[in-house]
Amino acid sequence: MRYHPLPRTAVPVVALVTLVLVVWIGWGSVRSPASFWAPGDLSRYHVDQAGCTHCHEPFRGPSAARCVSCHSERYFADRATPAVTTWHRELAMQRTACTACHMEHRGALAQITEQARTNPHGEFVFRATGTSSCTACHEFGARVAIRPTPAVTTWHRELAMQRTACTACHMEHRGALAQITEQARTNPHGEFVFRATGTSSCTACHEFGARVAIRPTLRDEPIVRRLYEQGRGAHRPGRIAGCLSCHSGG
């Protein structure tokens, strides 16, 4: 079988079209480089960055040096808890790449931190409350686990020494707002009581036993006395539990 010769215009036409597209890419790389080169949209945390080289060093990728230029020691001191700051400082001293835990270009609403806690209030809670971080209302440990009280710590240490399975009391995969502890007490005041009272934990006002199933008692603390005083004028004096008849669920 013999094929016909290639048309003489074929190669010049393709070459011309290629050249036009390359020029278009060059022009577009100046105007909107992300559209031409990025594997995905930037998250809402970095979308206001001016250019690619804010984070990317040419032929070296997103380097820690570029991250630290914005996420400096001062940045962490202003916005993070001391535990989180220390955690990141140790990783920086070990020269751990920021990209080991933080990933970008996965869309505007994507989480950029590996194993990040899902926000159960929805993303608009920051705008609605005038805050910029979960730590404005919530207390977190070095990894986003909740800080335990000494009694609870001792309780769990004893169970660990007895090699009791964690899943004997804790159950997961039941939804973002579900309790993960068996017989855990539901907060009858609602989640916003912490912001309303300026506290960060149930233990600011209540005394609990080793098992949180035991009925809590009120602590003799300034916050508790203040709330008694505030309740007295507008409502009736007496037990704070009486407030729940109107303020149930926070």
- Binding residues for other proteins, per CB under 8 A? 1, 3-4, 6-7, 10-11, 13-15, 17-18, 21-22, 25, 28, 34-41, 52, 56-63, 103, 106, 114
Closest approach, Cβ 47 to other proteins, in A, equals 15
> Between 21 and 244, whose beta carbon lies closer to other proteins?
21
Cβ-based nearer residue to other proteins, 60 or 95: 60
Report, in Å, the least distance between residue 72 CB and other proteins: 22
Q: Is 163 left (phi over 0), alpha (psi -120 to 50) or beta?
A: left
Q: Would you say 66 or 247 has its CB closer to other proteins?
A: 66
Cβ burial, residue 52 (10 Å; 0-12/13-18/19+): middle
| Closest distance to other proteins from the beta carbon of 44 (Å) | 17
We find the least distance from the C-beta atom of residue 45 to other proteins, in angstroms, to be 16
Smallest separation, CB 127 to other proteins (Å):
26
- H runs (alpha helix) in 125-237: 125-129, 150-161, 193-197, 222-234
CA 146, CA 152: separation in Å to the nearest integer?
12
The residue type at 193: V
Contact partners, residue 91, CB within 8 Å, separation at least 6: none
Strand ranges, E, within the chain: 56-57, 61-62, 206-207, 217-218
Compare residues 53 and 153 and give the one whose CB is closer to other proteins: 53
- To other proteins, the closest distance from the beta carbon of 12 in angstroms equals 9
The vertex-83 CA angle with 81 and 65, nearest 5°, equals 85
Element (H, E) at 79: helix 73-79
Q: Which is nearer to other proteins, 19 or 240 (CB)?
A: 19
**Cβ closer to other proteins: 4 or 74?**
4
Dist. CA 32–CA 12, nearest whole Å: 29
Whole-angstrom distance, CA of residue 180 vs CA of residue 159: 17
Output Rg (C-alpha) for the chain, integer angstroms: 28
Residue 3 Cβ, how far from other proteins at the closest point, in Å?
6
CA gap 129, 195 in Å, rounded: 10
Nearer to other proteins, 38 or 243 (CB): 38
Candidates 28, 85, 99; CA nearest to 57 is: 99
